[in-house]
């Protein structure tokens, strides 16, 4: 899989991937949001984005095609999405993938603990329901990278071939 910045030709594939994953598409704007896509034979198999709100980040719209799940593609994509942002705190909202993000070093927090700028985002204030769990990553990019490498090694050891 090749991960790269999304461009206009990926837009419809991103929307379909998000819709197929039951994720919101209302405010998807690849010009305004740093969207990355995972490509296999030039076809979008994964996507996700990071939005910056001052000193804080919102990780959003992370999706992997249903036929590609369980191959650590989501973990690779999340690492790529956050690696360039250094030590900025990263927040996300999820209803169904809390366990996945906990494996990547995120912890569940209360909605009131999320910074005001992130809370005012369209994702947080209008699109994601109140039942969505906010998560937060305390690890900086260096430690997150080390942690993901350990997870990758464990996956390879437990899933040879």
Q: One digit per residue, pLDDT tens: the chain, 161 residues?
A: 899 999 889 999 999 999 999 888 888 877 777 789 999 999 999 999 988 888 888 888 899 999 999 899 999 998 888 776 667 888 888 877 777 888 888 888 888 888 898 888 888 777 776 667 676 665 455 445 555 555 555 556 566 65
CA dihedral 75, 29, 90, 109 (to 10 degrees): -100
How much is the pLDDT for 81?
85
How much is the pLDDT for 68?
93
Q: Are 86 and 141 in contact (CB under 8 A)?
A: yes
How much is the pLDDT for 14?
92
Report the predicted TM-score, pTM, of the whole model to 2 decimal places: 0.76
Kindly state which CATH superfamily the domain 2-158 is placed in.
Gcn5-related N-acetyltransferase (GNAT) (3.40.630.30)
Q: Where are the domains of the chain?
A: 2-158
How much is the pLDDT for 41?
93
How much is the pLDDT for 129?
61
CA dihedral 118, 119, 121, 123 (to 10 degrees): 110
């Amino acid at each position: 899989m090749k991960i790269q910045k999304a461009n206009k030709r990926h837009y419809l594939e991103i929307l379909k991937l998000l819709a197929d994953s039951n994720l919101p598409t209302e405010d998807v704007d690849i010009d305004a949001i740093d969207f990355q896509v995972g490509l296999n034979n030039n076809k979008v198999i994964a996507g996700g984005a990071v939005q910056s709100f001052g000193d804080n980040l919102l990780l959003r719209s992370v999706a992997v095609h249903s036929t590609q799940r369980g191959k650590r593609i989501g973990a690779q994509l999340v690492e790529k999405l956050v690696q360039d942002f250094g030590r900025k705190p990263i927040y996300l909202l999820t209803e169904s993938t809390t366990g996945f993000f906990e494996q990547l070093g995120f912890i569940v927090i209360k909605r009131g603990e999320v910074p005001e700028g992130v809370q005012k985002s369209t994702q947080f204030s209008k699109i994601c329901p109140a039942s969505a769990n906010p998560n937060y990553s305390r690890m900086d990019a260096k430690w997150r990278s080390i942690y993901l490498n350990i997870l990758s090694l464990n996956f390879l050891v437990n899933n040879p071939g």
